[in-house]
A and B are shown apart, each in its own frame.
Chain A
Amino acid sequence: MSKIFTTNQYLGYFVICMALNAAIFFKPFSVFFIPDAILLAYLIYKFKDLDQEVSPLFFLGAVLLFGYYLFSPEPSDLEYQNKFLVSLKPYLYICILALYSNNQPVKSLHGFIKGVVVFYPFLLVWNIVLYYIKHRPPLSRVVQESRPFFMFENNFEITFYISCFIALVFIYKDTSLKNYFYLSLVILLANSRSGLLSFAAISPFYFWALDGKKRWIAFGFAVLAAGYVGVSRNITQIAGNVDRLQTFNLMWQSYESSFAELLSFPFGHGIYVKVPTYLCEKLPEFAEWFVGNAANCDPLMLQAFYTRSLFQFGIYITLLIPIIFFLLIKKETGWKLAALIVAPVACVALSVGGFSNGLAFLGMLLCVYAYVQVSSAKQAPIHA
């Protein structure tokens, strides 16, 4: 595989990333749109190269997208309006994946992916240093308190990072222990429970790819990272302190805590219906945090993808969304790799946007493109 970047170029990009991180850390500005903006720019740029077999699932995605947009019960005139359309992003991503899964970039993604895997942990360390400079916490608690990030909340970034790791290890076959060490370091520094879940989902497959001694060393890294997150986030006491369980409970109560009631809403409540006020008011800080108003009980406040999706789209569509992503990726990569690529997003969807998050989708798309590039390079005729 040809190298895209030289070491000096890598270092140059790393310094730029450090500066960007410092700018965002000290003077936060709006960055949420960046993954989708990158995706849009890519779609426009590569539109002229569009030429592929499109799965019929494209039409299912389009029907769900327009169906929920056109037929959801209208929002009340007197209630706060919101970013209702954000909820429809998974269907848009399904359409994009169906249309563009074989429209990979010309340049190899190997260098970029390797760069992310190697340098991201150091960016997190840099962010922890910035946190220390700004807040001066006790040194013993600095990692635990800082929840470091590069540009976005680290739950999103970890999903993207794990996608890069999957591409590097399972597509480019770079099974070096160093890569797994970087991954373990990221999980430890980020201190994220959903990140830990994704990490646990893919680690056994990495161990499988190693020989005896290396497997035990990798296992040691994993235990160290998981142990640290487990202890520092008090993982044995999750029932009372995990906010996502509290929001799930709200959603569950909105169906009167009855599975039969959940089944009786085959398409959920639609994208506009608010979480019942008496339930939403049990967690007013969530509403405030998400929509800037404690009285705005928009389903966005439910935060975790599955919880929100169960409320807005119902159980059948919630189950269907990961399956559609899996089938679309399987079409390009085969089922084993597709399962690995979808697994981190499916895990993180327990906690954050998951399938409706632009960065997570970019991670999946990156894996698909890496695989298509590698497999088309293998099939390309060798010229003398």
Chain B
Amino acid sequence: MRISYQIICDFWSQNKKLLIIWQLVFLLSAAVYLVMIPKTYEAYFHVRTAKILVNDKWDALKWARYTRRNLMSPQGFTPELARVCVGSDSNAARRSLVNAMQIDILDDSGGVLAISVRLVGADHAKECANLLAKNIVDTSEAALTNRLLEDGFTAGNLQKGKINNYEKPMITSQPRMSDSYVRPQIAQTMLGAFLMGLISVSAYAILKRRYFSE
């Protein structure tokens, strides 16, 4: 394909009106889209799973990367969590909940995770984040109780190879909301609209010249 300054100038002079009108249409559509679309907010929290002391070494009962892996599995959520966060307990809803989460591992062996949940509506995102945090803590606490029972843990036990002490899981930083909505993003949406306008007019002008010119 040949592109030259002259071709660009000719294209501009021949399609100036069309370009301006289509750009206005696309940009206005983008503005309406920005106003109308439900806003996605982000809730961000830190959680630490249970820790145990064995042989003078504190470690998470389950390392953070494995907790993360469980959280990224759609079948791992409780029905209540799925319903509160994504409105239903269908498989598709569970998959969308996985996509709504971003999980950063702050301390792998310490079991500390930073989780952000992005959902439509600030209250909804916060409610889901609270429940998710509680869920992680409850699951870890249940696993800790089982492990302590299996190990026959008694307070003050200093025997090597056995659990000498433990720390319960906890939410280390309560869910914090984004200052504003995180999606849709104004700059990206307007740029997308601008590009679509430009591509549409270019395609229209090329097709018109090829098939409808005399």
**Contact surface of A with B, Cβ cutoff 8 Å:** 47-54, 56, 66, 69-70, 73-74, 76-78, 99, 256, 273-274, 276-279
Contact call A74/B114, Cβ cutoff below 8 A: no
A273 to chain B, nearest CB (A): 8
Interface size band for B = 20 to 34
With A49-B5, A74-B118, A277-B105 known, 18 other A-B pairs at CB within 8 A are A48-B5, A50-B8, A51-B2, A53-B2, A66-B192, A66-B195, A70-B191, A74-B185, A77-B42, A77-B180, A78-B42, A78-B176, A78-B178, A273-B102, A276-B104, A276-B105, A278-B107, A279-B105
B176 to chain A, nearest CB (A): 7
A231 to chain B, nearest CB (A): 39
Contact call B6/A51, Cβ cutoff below 8 A: yes
Q: B183 within 8 Å of A by Cβ?
A: yes
Q: A73-B102, A76-B44 are in contact. Are A50 and B191 (CB under 8 A)?
A: no
In B184-201, which residues have CB < 8 Å from any A CB?
185, 188, 191-192, 195
B44, B65, B188: the one within 8 Å of A69 (CB): B188
Contact call B192/A52, Cβ cutoff below 8 A: no
CA distance A54 to B4 in the complex (A): 9
CA distance A277 to B182 in the complex (A): 22
Which B residues touch A52, using CB under 8 A?
2-4
List 9 contacting pairs A-B, 8 Å CB cutoff, sorted by A.
A50-B3, A52-B3, A52-B4, A56-B1, A76-B102, A76-B116, A77-B42, A77-B182, A78-B176
Q: B106 within 8 Å of A by Cβ?
A: yes
Q: B144 within 8 Å of A by Cβ?
A: no
Chain B minimum-CB-distance residue to A62: B195
CA distance A70 to B176 in the complex (A): 26
CA distance A70 to B183 in the complex (A): 12
Which B residues touch A51, using CB under 8 A?
2-6
A337 to chain B, nearest CB (A): 24
Which B residues touch A56, using CB under 8 A?
1
Which B residues touch A54, using CB under 8 A?
1-3
B43 to chain A, nearest CB (A): 10
CA distance A76 to B114 in the complex (A): 11
Which B residues touch A69, using CB under 8 A?
188, 191
Chain A minimum-CB-distance residue to B4: A51
Which A residues touch B191, using CB under 8 A?
66, 69-70
B64 to chain A, nearest CB (A): 7
A-B contact count (CB 8 A): 67
Contact call A278/B185, Cβ cutoff below 8 A: no
Q: B179 within 8 Å of A by Cβ?
A: yes
In B43-79, which residues have CB < 8 Å from any A CB?
44, 64-65
CA distance A52 to B4 in the complex (A): 6
**Contact surface of B with A, Cβ cutoff 8 Å:** 1-6, 8, 42, 44, 64-65, 102, 104-108, 114, 116, 118, 176, 178-180, 182-183, 185, 188, 191-192, 195
Which B residues touch A76, using CB under 8 A?
42, 44, 102, 116, 182
Contact call B188/A278, Cβ cutoff below 8 A: no
A44 to chain B, nearest CB (A): 12
Chain A minimum-CB-distance residue to B107: A278
Contact call A70/B3, Cβ cutoff below 8 A: no
Which B residues touch A47, using CB under 8 A?
5
A287 to chain B, nearest CB (A): 14
Which A residues touch B116, using CB under 8 A?
76, 78
A60 to chain B, nearest CB (A): 13
Q: A277-B114, A278-B64 are in contact. Are A70 and B188 (CB under 8 A)?
A: yes
Which A residues touch B185, using CB under 8 A?
74
Q: A52-B4, A74-B185, A77-B42 are in contact. Are A274 and B104 (CB under 8 A)?
A: yes
CA distance A54 to B180 in the complex (A): 43
Chain A minimum-CB-distance residue to B106: A277
Contact call B2/A278, Cβ cutoff below 8 A: no
CA distance A278 to B65 in the complex (A): 10
Which B residues touch A278, using CB under 8 A?
64, 105-108
Which B residues touch A273, using CB under 8 A?
102
Contact call B179/A77, Cβ cutoff below 8 A: yes
Contact call B105/A50, Cβ cutoff below 8 A: no
Chain B minimum-CB-distance residue to A78: B44
Q: A66-B195, A277-B105 are in contact. Are A74 and B5 (CB under 8 A)?
A: no
B2, B108, B182: the one within 8 Å of A74 (CB): B182
A73 to chain B, nearest CB (A): 7
CA distance A278 to B111 in the complex (A): 10
Contact call B4/A277, Cβ cutoff below 8 A: no
B3, B102, B183: the one within 8 Å of A99 (CB): B3
